[in-house]
Structures are given as C-alpha cells and as structure tokens.
Amino acid sequence: MKDQHFITFEEIFGQETEKGKLMKPGTVERIKDELSRQNGSRREHSGAGELSKDLYTIAKKHTEGIEGHVATPRGSVINPNGDSMQRVFEQAIRGAEPIEFVLFIGAGGKSEPDAHEGHFIDNINALMNNVAEIHKPGTKLHIILADVHAAKNGYVDHSTGLLKPETEAYLDAMGQSFLDLEREGMNIHVERLSNLYKRHNLTPITEEGALQDEEANEKFGKHKDFLQGNARRYSVTGAGSDVDGIRYVAMRIREKAILDQDFSNSILLAAGISKGASDIILPDNRSAIFLGGKSPWFQH
C-alpha cells in the first residue's frame, strides 16, 4: 500500500514565501486548523481501509467453523467486485456505527434446539465478539425467523393451514436463544419473516405462481441438481423436488426486496454453502458470509 503523505504547515509556509507572499494576521492559525482537519481525514480514511481488511479476514476465518467444531463442508464469503464487504465495513467504521448482519433462521421437524443449534449460535456469537474486539461500536444482528420458509417446506398442520405447534415452538426458542445474547452486550433484533411480508405487501408464493415465474424457472435450471437435492432432503410437501425447488427459488427472489429495502447496509449470514446464493438470494452487489456445515434445524 502506498504511504500516506500528510501535508505540513512548513510546506505551505515555504511555498508561500517562495512566491514572495506575506501571510496576514490569523492566516497561520487558519491554515494550521485546516491542515489538521484534512490530515485527520486522511488518517481516518487510511485507518478504516486497514481495519476493514482485518474484519474481512475475521469473516473468512469463521467460514471454517470454530474450535472443536470444524465446518463440513467449509463455508465461504460472497464479496462482489472483491471489495463489497470491505465497503460495508468501512462505512460503519467511518460513521462509528455498529456493523449490521442479517440471519434467516429456518425450521425443520424439530420442536426445540439441541447441541447442533448450540454450536451454530456459538459460531455466530464468536464472530460478533471478534468483530467487536477491533470495531468498538460492535455489531447489530437482525434475526429473521423464517416461518414462511417452514410453511413452504410443508411443516404445517393441514387441518388449520398453520405452522405445526412444534415448528412454532422451535422458532420461538431460537429467537429467545439469540435474545439471550443481549445479556452479553450484543445488539439483537428478532422478527418473523411473515411480518416483513406484511410490511412489504408480499404474499407467500403459490405453486402455480412459481411454476409460471420465468426468472425462477431459469435460475432453478441453472442450479437444478443442488436445488433438487435440497428439496428431497428438507421438504415434506410431497409435491416433488422440481416443484419444491422452483417454489423455493421464486420465494427467495421475491424476498430480495426485503433485503434491499430493510437491510441495505447489512451483510447476510447463513449456514451451509453459498451455491446459487448470488443468483437466488442476494440483491445485486451484496455480500454474505456462509458459515458452512449444515443448517442446524435440519440436523438431529
């Protein structure tokens, strides 16, 4: 990196005297004040850039898991243009604001969190703490309890059309598990995805609507094997892996509007791997940290 050059009063004074100019009363103090401001801004800019690189290194490290719990498979970061994530960090550093992250929490057939969720939350907590160690304003973590996703995966009581009681209990328990971290000084906000849908005037995608969605079909075809495999493993709708896969893609494409408008300065956190995420989940030029492993709500 090229060394920063900080302008000194002596340089300005020398330039002016070489031109034969005499400084008026008060000019010396004015120039010194202005140089102090400009040089301070340069130092802040340089420091923010270096700090953002350190934060990026921390993010990448957490894609490998935490001590005693290696992520299998390993995760990865999505960093469009090679610096999108660093730009988010720099903006928060210069504004002395918390660095914001957003995390969707899904649900499977479990009624309560177990050790798998414990390891996952430990990794999230460690990441937040490691960021806060070098960025004093710390972090803000937005937790989205993805009840809409659970419903579309078939975890519903068909007599009522509502989520199964055990699924509701699981999501509530996960939300509380993250809120408990506030006692350790973390800044946590928890909200249901269904509430965000209402705020954005979105309705859950129907099977018919998904099958007619050209963009969803195109992107499903691009990542077909991966999406079919996930649908076979995690969906219990009985609709088949093609229908479930296309419906998932259509749903996540619609949710880009939520990420774009409500969480425009947030970095996405997620379990698992990043395959297809740039096409299906993320708005343009948005960064993400995929922590690897398997989503804990699907582990028993």
Across the chain, which has 300 residues, the per-10-residue mean pLDDT values are 47 48 56 52 62 95 88 94 96 96 97 96 95 96 98 95 97 97 92 98 96 98 98 96 98 98 97 96 97 95
Closest CA to 267 of 46, 58, 7, 6: 58
Q: With respect to residue 10, please indicate whether it lies within any of the assigned structural domains.
A: no
Q: Which domain holds residue 225?
A: 40-298
Which pLDDT does position 172 carry in this prediction? 98
Q: With respect to residue 116, please indicate whether it lies within any of the assigned structural domains.
A: yes
Q: With respect to residue 209, please indicate whether it lies within any of the assigned structural domains.
A: yes
Q: With respect to residue 23, please indicate whether it lies within any of the assigned structural domains.
A: no
The phi-psi region of residue 20 (left if phi > 0; otherwise alpha if psi is between -120 and 50; otherwise beta) is left
Q: With respect to residue 19, please indicate whether it lies within any of the assigned structural domains.
A: no
- Gap between the Cα atoms of 283 and 277, Å rounded: 10
Number of domains in the chain: 1
Residue 168, domain CATH: 3.40.50.620
DSSP 292: B
* Secondary structure (3-state) at 65: strand
Q: With respect to residue 90, please indicate whether it lies within any of the assigned structural domains.
A: yes
Which pLDDT does position 47 carry in this prediction? 82
pLDDT tens column, 116-133 = 999 999 999 999 999 999
Could you give the residue ranges of the DSSP H alpha helices within the chain? Answer: 9-18, 27-61, 84-94, 115-134, 147-152, 165-179, 193-199, 207-211, 214-222, 224-234, 241-262, 277-280
Q: With respect to residue 224, please indicate whether it lies within any of the assigned structural domains.
A: yes
Which pLDDT does position 70 carry in this prediction? 87
Q: With respect to residue 31, please indicate whether it lies within any of the assigned structural domains.
A: no
- Gap between the Cα atoms of 240 and 3, Å rounded: 59
Angle between helices 27-61 and 115-134 (to 10 degrees): 160
Which pLDDT does position 37 carry in this prediction? 54
